[in-house]
């Protein structure tokens, strides 16, 4: 391992019209061949640091930057983002914002084309890809699941072969096997002399692979004050039977899925990336029409529900919170669909977001956005709540707040909850019933909870 590739001294970042620094002061030395884990509370400045290191701040996103950031002995601020991108490969927390092309094949080669890589060399770099699924090159990107899109961006960036990789929450949408594969490959890259910086809340998964662990804020591994399981299931509010769906005729995504959600119970849906979990959620939310089977919501076929009435009964927290934040302040966002002002006060206090109420939602960190989106949906007191990867970007305190909110709603006996998560911290707290989605069908794992990366028997 040679000298420092990155030397940060007294780095501090302030955004326009703010009185508090978004980051800093930070002092950090990173050497070639190191895999570095950076973690900390949501909003502590991790993504701000990410944007400094890839040149977006202050060249693209205005901010006042003080201190020094030397890369290979040269002040980083003297280089343009275009020049930095030849050395630094970045995968954003909101990875969908990085997708440029409409097909898998075009997205994979886009970065290499910008570096004038020869076509034969492109094929060699992509041969035996560890992450991209077996989707044909002409597959539309918008047909992929969130986890598969994240793999696609990871592979496209890795194919550019940067000297330094900076990854913001790279495990957020990956299943256990894909997470393990990524960590193995990143460790190999570091051992080969590449520098890898991971911003990640999943300290439990990453720290054993890391040469250096950096805490940007107060942090305690593991969820504190673990919330209790929900009440015993009462009557079914959502019953799915023999559900079938395909985007393309003859290529089924869901083929005979069965699922029952009971009022006052919490259910976890698991499955590999691309197995159809988000597609199932879109069907249950009434966003795409199913081709076969039955979905009974409160005893009535889902197709018969009018969209306006459906919104009052079913709440859906999307995998990407940027797709469902619309108002000019957090306060307005939560008030927009609230059942009562009393509910808003209780939700704000339980979530601990009182200091964010006057902020614009898009000024928040990705973890804070996700918590606000969840609060806004819960404020409407839905009878069915769908949570698609609610833990992404959440530090332990924010995750604990979200789980308390959801569990309090369940304990009141009004809500049935279905969650998709790869995060064992949340699955153990939310999984009174667990389904596995395999081959387009659901398999009920009665009396099972997620521990680490495996399903183990445990009384509930």
Taking the C-alpha atoms of residue 293 and residue 281, their distance in angstroms, rounded to an integer, is 15
pLDDT at 215: 84
Task: Let me know: does 406 contact 266? Beta carbons within 8 Å.
Answer: yes
Taking the C-alpha atoms of residue 333 and residue 331, their distance in angstroms, rounded to an integer, is 5
Taking the C-alpha atoms of residue 290 and residue 302, their distance in angstroms, rounded to an integer, is 10
Taking the C-alpha atoms of residue 219 and residue 201, their distance in angstroms, rounded to an integer, is 10
Residue 345: name the closest of 375, 371, 367 by CA.
375
Taking the C-alpha atoms of residue 42 and residue 201, their distance in angstroms, rounded to an integer, is 9
Q: List the beta strands (DSSP E) in 289-330.
A: 292-297, 300-301, 314-317
pLDDT at 319: 81
Taking the C-alpha atoms of residue 368 and residue 383, their distance in angstroms, rounded to an integer, is 24
Among 184-198, 227-241, 420-434, the least confident range: 227-241
Two structure tokens written together for 297: 């919501």
Residue 81 pLDDT level (bands cut at 50, 70, 90): confident
CA angle 39–40–41, rounded 5-degree value = 145
Residue 322: name the closest of 52, 21, 92, 16 by CA.
92
Helix (H, G, I), strand (E, B) or coil at 126: helix
Q: What sign does the CA torsion over 309, 254, 445, 397 have?
A: negative
- Mean pLDDT (whole number) for 75-85: 79
258 or 450: which carries more pLDDT confidence? 258
pTM of the model: 0.55
- Mean pLDDT (whole number) for 78-94: 83
pLDDT at 426: 65
150 or 316: which carries more pLDDT confidence? 316
Rg (CA), the chain: 22
**C-alpha to C-alpha distances, 409 to 230, 235, 396, nearest whole angstrom:** 9, 16, 20
Q: Which domains does the chain have, with CATH numbers?
A: 4-215 (3.40.50.300), 236-457 (3.40.50.300)
Taking the C-alpha atoms of residue 153 and residue 100, their distance in angstroms, rounded to an integer, is 10
Residue 351 clears pLDDT 70, i.e. is over it = yes
Residue 386: name the closest of 295, 280, 460, 236 by CA.
280
């Amino acid at each position: 391992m040679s000298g420092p590739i990155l030397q940060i001294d007294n780095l501090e970042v302030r955004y326009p019209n703010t009185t508090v620094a978004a980051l800093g002061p930070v002092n950090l030395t990173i050497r070639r061949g190191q895999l570095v884990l950076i973690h900390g509370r949501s909003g502590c400045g991790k993504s701000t640091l990410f944007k400094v290191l890839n040149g977006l701040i202050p060249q693209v996103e205005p901010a006042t930057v003080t201190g020094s950031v030397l890369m290979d002995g040269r002040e980083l601020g003297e280089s343009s983002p275009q020049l930095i991108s030849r050395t630094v490969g970045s995968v954003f927390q909101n990875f969908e914002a990085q997708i440029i092309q409409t097909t898998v094949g075009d997205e994979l080669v886009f970065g290499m084309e910008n570096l004038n890589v020869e076509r034969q060399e492109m094929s060699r770099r992509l041969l035996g890809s560890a992450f991209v699924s077996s989707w044909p090159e002409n597959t539309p990107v918008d047909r992929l699941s969130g986890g598969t899109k994240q793999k696609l961006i990871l592979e496209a960036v890795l194919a550019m072969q940067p000297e330094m990789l900076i990854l913001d929450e790279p495990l957020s949408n990956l299943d256990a096997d894909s997470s393990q594969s990524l960590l193995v490959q990143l460790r190999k890259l570091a051992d080969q002399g590449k520098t890898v910086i991971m911003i990640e809340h999943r300290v439990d998964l990453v720290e054993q692979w890391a040469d250096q662990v950096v805490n940007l804020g107060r942090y305690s591994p593991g969820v504190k004050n673990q919330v209790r399981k929900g009440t015993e299931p009462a009557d079914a509010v959502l019953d799915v039977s023999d559900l079938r769906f395909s985007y393309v005729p003859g290529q089924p995504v869901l083929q005979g899925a069965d699922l029952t959600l009971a009022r006052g119970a919490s259910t976890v849906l698991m499955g590999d990336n691309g197995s159809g979990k988000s597609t199932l959620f879109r069907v249950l939310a009434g966003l795409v029409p199913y081709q076969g089977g039955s979905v009974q919501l409160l005893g009535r076929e889902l197709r018969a529900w009018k969209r306006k009435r459906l919104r009052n009964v079913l709440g859906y927290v999307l995998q990407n919170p940027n797709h469902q934040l619309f108002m000019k302040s957090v306060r307005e966002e939560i008030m927009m669909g609230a059942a009562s002002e009393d509910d808003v006060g209780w939700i704000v206090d339980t979530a601990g977001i009182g200091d964010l109420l006057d902020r614009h939602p898009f000024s928040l960190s990705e973890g804070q956005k996700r918590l606000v989106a969840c609060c806004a949906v819960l404020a409407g007191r839905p009878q069915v709540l769908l949570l698609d990867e609610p833990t992404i970007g959440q530090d332990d305190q924010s995750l604990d707040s979200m789980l308390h909110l959801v569990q309090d709603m369940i304990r009141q006996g009004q809500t049935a909850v279905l969650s998709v998560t790869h995060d064992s911290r949340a699955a153990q707290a939310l999984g009174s019933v667990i389904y596995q989605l395999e081959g387009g069908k659901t398999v009920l794992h009665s009396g099972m909870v997620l521990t680490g990366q495996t399903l183990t028997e445990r009384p509930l």
